Each structure stands twice: as structure tokens, then as C-alpha cells.
Amino acid sequence: MLNPETISFEALGFRAGLEVHHQIKSTRKLFCHCKPNLRRDSPDYLFERKFRPVLGEMGDFDEGMLIEYEKGYRVIYHAYTEQVCLYEQDEQPPFWPDMEAIYSGYELAQWLNCSALVDVGIVARKQYLDGSITTGFQRTMIVARDGWVEVNNKKIRISNLTVEEDAARKIKTENSGRTVYYNLDRLGIPLVEVITDHRDCTNVTDLRKLAEIIGLTLRISGIGMTGIGSVRQDVNISIQKGDRVEIKGVQDLSQFENMTRREAVRQDMLIKIAQMLRERKLTKAELEHTYYDITEEFTSGLIPEGLSVMAIRIPKFAGILGLEIQPGKDFGQDVFEKASLISGILTQHMFHSDELSNDAQRRKLSSLPFFMPLMHESLDKNIRKLLNLSNRDAYCIALGKNTWIIHALKKIIERLKYALDGVPQETRRLLPDGNSEFLRVIHGKDRLYPDTDTPALELDLRKIESFKGKVGKRPWDLEQEFQQKYNLSFSHLQSLVHENRLEDFLILVNNYNQKPTIIYSFLVETLKSLRRKGVNTSHIGVKEIMEILQQAALNKLSVYDLVQEKYHHKQEVYF
């Protein structure tokens, strides 16, 4: 059993970076005047669309787009009249952008010490064919480059800061993933994206702190929207000899450690597999795109009417497909997940020869894959004979309609050819147990081209310069201040920011000379307990707090008791 806990990040040459997407506080969406908030009730109307890849500016197709297109999505949209207009419906060109939101991006750039600020806003299109954006592309503009933040006394560089529109949120999929439902409420909401240099973070503790620091900066500056769903993180991870893999949708910072370890382990295993294949002298040419129909090999009645079973030869892979590359998941499964996402054939209906073993990972599942109970020694022997395979070779079979299976097996061969090269650059999705699965090929720069619907935006450079004056104490400076002056920790700082009481804390401690621990306790714990009793604590400001403290001192009561008494009478219940 693989144990991610025992890996050494340093030995692996671990490197990581973040892409933090945070909603900008605004009264409208970036390119239209719809309300920038989310809806949970049933939609006002529905419509459906299909998407196709197009050529990039420099004259080529992006491979990632072609793969997405091969899936042949039918996309169904849920729309709400207040949050969706003809712009989100891709039925009209964009309105003039919300300049306030764009300037918020520049203000954030000053907080993040960005030295290169873009003078002319050029909006670009980044293509997505998964249906998450009705136009098929996201409008995004780069605002600044070359900034930095301080994490645990190390400088982590911010390579890019962009302002862009958010995508729609996925509701569900049907039909083997070929029909997708999206909620358009979120589409078009202005986001700021902070991208860190992925060479700078060398361990997961710093990585997590980096995310926290960036999040704090967005809150302290007042630029970021607060609330559930307003922040999303993607993590870029690579190890030495590996390649950059992006893991999308890491919402919870507590998932970081587990996820990062499991990804480092996966990459390490892929590199080991490449080495093993080289030792076995495998060449890419040996993996042929030939698909063998072996439906006859199965007893009649076992294979559903209208479906077939097809096989591919996988020379020299015996024992490799079954290698565990993430806890509970073998290499074969990782390959199957990609093929399944693209072709629509379920991983349930795929099987590889290493799974005959009693140790096969999928034997532990509560519902076994289709072929597992069917496969036995003599059937295996027959198949090997048919496919002319030796004991050092492997094979893979899949069940389904002819054209679909061929498509799936084709993707498997393609992915296995790449096994010789080690770690493919990919975008992956985080799974609940901390493992990841293929989501799409990483987006290349060929997917970006200028947006011809928006003219170049001339920005007020003096205004941008003036934002420097608005920059307050940054999280790492505050962290130091908290440690040295108040004897409080980083997590205390976080709680205060989270409760929106940092400013009050600093005033009470510095201007009124109150004891930090007492103030902290009041602002975070006491107020929280009041809220639980239904008291509206937003009316309690610095003035009220000082009164309470003075009264408590005067009457020799504990602050807590005083507060209980004071607000017992004034109980307003808010839900």
C-alpha cells in the first residue's frame, strides 16, 4: 500500500504554485449590468447549446480543445432573469466593462507589490469548450506582473494578476457525461486571479500559508467579496523529472496537505513507470492502434445485446498497469479515467489484465467492475492466445457500442504511449479522498487570442499610482506585528479578519491601549456567543466596546457577565 505520509518533498524536488480566483466586490457583472449574486431556486428559463474548436491567432488548433470537442457535449443552461441577460446567453456583445472592478485589480496589484502594471487593458479570449461559458471563451485581461508576497519569511513571486469573468457553475451531468447542466448565475461575475510562480513553493506548509496570505490580502484590502463560493484555488504541482500538473477546485485549505502528498506520489510513480518501461525496452511503435473484437470469447448471454467487447495489445506492460500510483488507485485506473471522460465509456466497463490478480485495487470496491467476476484463468489464456501476448505483456478490454469503444481504446493507447515520457501535463480534478482524476489537457497559450468586441482600455495611470497610498499593512507585516507586539499568532490574525474585526482590534489595542488578548477574546469569542443567542452584533463598534470595558472595570464585573446582562434585555432575534 502506498504511503504518501512518508515522502520527502525535498528529495522529490517538489515545486508548487497557486492560482487563486477571488470574486471582486462589485454591484454588477464585469461585462453587463446583471446582479452578481447566486441563485438556488428553480430557473426562469432553459436553453441548450453545442460548441466547436476554432483556430488560434498564431494559426493552430489547441490540442486541449480538440479533446474536449471529441466528447460531443450537449450543454443545457439554467437561467435567471435577474442574473442573466442576453450577454450571458451569448446573444449580444459585451457592454463597456465595469471599470471599478478593473481598478480593483490594480489596487490589489499594489498590495501584492507588482512592479509591472499594464498601461493599456487588452481583453483576451481564453477558450473553453466544456460549456462553462456560453460564448465558448472567457474574457480575461492581464493587469499586472512581477509581484511578491512573504510566506514564512520567504518571498513567493506573483507572476500574473488578471481580472476576468467567472464561468457558469456545473449542476450535474447525464448520459455518460455527454449531457451537462450549468447554472448561469455565476457567469460574468468579476474575478481577480492571482497566479504565483510555481517554482517558488517547495513544501506543502508554505503552500497552504501562501493561500491563506493571499486570501487575507484580498479581505484586508476590501477588494475581495466575502462569503461561500467567492474563492477558488487551483494548485500547480510538479516534482523533479515530472511536469506541471494543475489540480482544480481545491476549496478547502485543509485538503491541501493530503492532496499535495498524493499528487507528488503519483508523479513519482509515473516517473518510476517510465524508467521501468525503458528498462523493458518498450518503444512507442509497439503500441498499435489495432482493436480486436473478442465478443465471441464470452459465453453468450453475458454480453448485452447490441454491445461488443474489444481488446488492445499492451506489450511489455504486465505488472505495470496494476501498480498503485495513488492510494487505492492503480496506473490502469488513472488511464481509464481519462479515456472514460473523453469517450463516455464508463470505467466500470473497462478492464486490464493485471486486474486478474487477487491484489487488484478495484477488488476492494463495493460494486465490482463488469468484467471482474467474468474473468478467469482460461478466458485470460484464450485472450492472450488470440492477441499473441506473452506473460510480459498486458491487454485491456472494454464493453460498449463499437464506435464508442474504439474511441476509448484509442485514447488508452495514446495515453500509454506517453507513459514512456513520465508525467503528462494535465489539468486534474480533486476527488474527495485526496486523489485526483484527469479533467482536461492543460490549457496552452494557443487558446488565447484578442477579444475583438472590446476596444483597448486606456487606464488612468495616475489613479493606479495613487492606489499605492491605499495599501495598508500586509498580512505578513501584520503577522509579525501580532507575534512581536501582541503575542498573538497568525491564526488569531486570520480569525479577526474572518470576523471583519481587524480594524477594531488595531484601534482598541493601539489607540485605546487595551490588552490584546482581552480584545481578541471579546471580538472573536464573546461576539460569536452573542450571535448564537440571536443578538445582532454588527451594532457593537469600538465606542460600544470601550463603554462595556469601562463599565466592567468600574463595576468589577467580568466582561462576559456584563455583556450577558446588557444584551439580555436587548435581545433582538435575527435569523
Nearer to another protein, 298 or 449 (CB): 449
- In the DSSP assignment, the letter for residue 68 is H
Helices (H), 180-293: 204-220, 256-279
By CB under 8 A, the residues from 532 to 571 that bind another protein are none
Does residue number 127 form part of the binding site for another protein (CB under 8 A)? yes
Instruction: Taking the CA atoms of 541, 547, 550 and 552 in sequence, report the sign of the dihedral they define.
Output: negative
The phi, psi pair for 381, rounded to 5°, reads: -60, -45
Torsion of the alpha carbons at 272, 275, 277 and 282, rounded to the nearest 10: 160
> Cell 506543502, residue?
204
Bridge partners of 330, per DSSP, are 324
By CB under 8 A, the residues from 25 to 64 that bind another protein are 43-55, 57-59, 61
Strands, sheet with 169-174, edge to edge from the N-terminal-most edge strand: 45-49, 74-79, 179-183, 169-174
Nearer to another protein, 93 or 227 (CB): 93
Does residue number 414 form part of the binding site for another protein (CB under 8 A)? no
Coil, helix or strand at residue 229: coil
Q: Measured between alpha carbons, how far is 523 from 58 in angstroms, rounded to an integer? A: 56
Does residue number 11 form part of the binding site for another protein (CB under 8 A)? no
Q: Measured between alpha carbons, how far is 484 from 161 in angstroms, rounded to an integer? A: 32
According to CB under 8 A, which one of 26, 37, 89, 295 is a site residue for another protein? 89
Contacts for 529 with CB less than 8 Å, ≥ 6 apart: none
According to CB under 8 A, which one of 13, 37, 70, 536 is a site residue for another protein? 70
- In the DSSP assignment, the letter for residue 95 is P
Question: Smallest distance, Å, CB 190 to another protein?
Answer: 17
Count of CB atoms within 10 A of residue 545's CB?
Answer: 23
Query: Rounded to whole angstroms, what are the CA distances from 278 to 169, 231, 266, 272, 317?
Result: 43, 43, 18, 10, 11
> Cell 504518501, residue?
4
According to CB under 8 A, which one of 69, 298, 418, 560 is a site residue for another protein? 69
Nearer to another protein, 316 or 411 (CB): 411
Does residue number 124 form part of the binding site for another protein (CB under 8 A)? yes
Nearer to another protein, 11 or 86 (CB): 86
Query: Rounded to whole angstroms, what are the CA distances from 264 to 204, 420, 559?
Result: 11, 18, 50
Does residue number 99 form part of the binding site for another protein (CB under 8 A)? no
Does residue number 189 form part of the binding site for another protein (CB under 8 A)? no
Nearer to another protein, 88 or 212 (CB): 88
Please tell me the count of residues contacting another protein according to CB under 8 A: 67
| Residue range at the interface with another protein (CB under 8 A); choices 110-118, 220-228, 349-357, 516-524 | 110-118
Does residue number 227 form part of the binding site for another protein (CB under 8 A)? no
| Residue range at the interface with another protein (CB under 8 A); choices 85-93, 98-106, 261-269, 296-304 | 85-93
Does residue number 333 form part of the binding site for another protein (CB under 8 A)? no
Nearer to another protein, 223 or 342 (CB): 342
Contacts for 310 with CB less than 8 Å, ≥ 6 apart: 291, 292, 293, 294, 295, 397, 398, 402, 405, 406, 409
By CB under 8 A, the residues from 441 to 480 that bind another protein are 444-450, 452, 455-456, 458
Question: Smallest distance, Å, CB 88 to another protein?
Answer: 11
Does residue number 95 form part of the binding site for another protein (CB under 8 A)? no
Question: Smallest distance, Å, CB 468 to another protein?
Answer: 14
Nearer to another protein, 60 or 359 (CB): 60
CA angle (269 as vertex; 440, 156 as ends), nearest 5? 65
Question: Smallest distance, Å, CB 58 to another protein?
Answer: 4
The CA radius of gyration of the chain, in Å to the nearest whole number, is 28
Q: HSE on the CB side for 289, CA within 13 Å? A: 7
Nearer to another protein, 118 or 277 (CB): 118
Nearer to another protein, 126 or 169 (CB): 126
Nearest to 454 by CA among 3, 66, 87: 87
Helices (H), 365-489: 377-387, 402-418, 461-466, 475-481
Nearer to another protein, 173 or 275 (CB): 173
Question: Smallest distance, Å, CB 267 to another protein?
Answer: 23
Does residue number 202 form part of the binding site for another protein (CB under 8 A)? no
Question: CB–CB of 48/77 below 8 Å?
Answer: yes
By CB under 8 A, the residues from 348 to 407 that bind another protein are 403
Nearest to 136 by CA among 81, 79, 182: 182
Question: Smallest distance, Å, CB 244 to another protein?
Answer: 13
According to CB under 8 A, which one of 12, 24, 84, 142 is a site residue for another protein? 142
Q: Measured between alpha carbons, how far is 409 from 561 in angstroms, rounded to an integer? A: 71
Contacts for 477 with CB less than 8 Å, ≥ 6 apart: none
Nearer to another protein, 2 or 448 (CB): 448
Nearer to another protein, 178 or 248 (CB): 178
| Residue range at the interface with another protein (CB under 8 A); choices 137-145, 201-209, 290-298, 486-494 | 137-145
Question: Smallest distance, Å, CB 114 to another protein?
Answer: 9
Q: Measured between alpha carbons, how far is 426 from 238 in angstroms, rounded to an integer? A: 11
Does residue number 82 form part of the binding site for another protein (CB under 8 A)? no
| Residue range at the interface with another protein (CB under 8 A); choices 141-149, 223-231, 345-353, 480-488 | 141-149
Rounded to the nearest 5 percent, the helix, strand and coil shares of the chain are 40, 20, 40
Does residue number 188 form part of the binding site for another protein (CB under 8 A)? no
Applying CB under 8 A, which residues contact another protein?
Answer: 43-55, 57-59, 61, 65, 69-70, 72, 74, 76, 86, 89-93, 115-116, 118-122, 124, 126-129, 134-137, 140-142, 145-146, 160, 162, 175, 178-179, 403, 444-450, 452, 455-456, 458
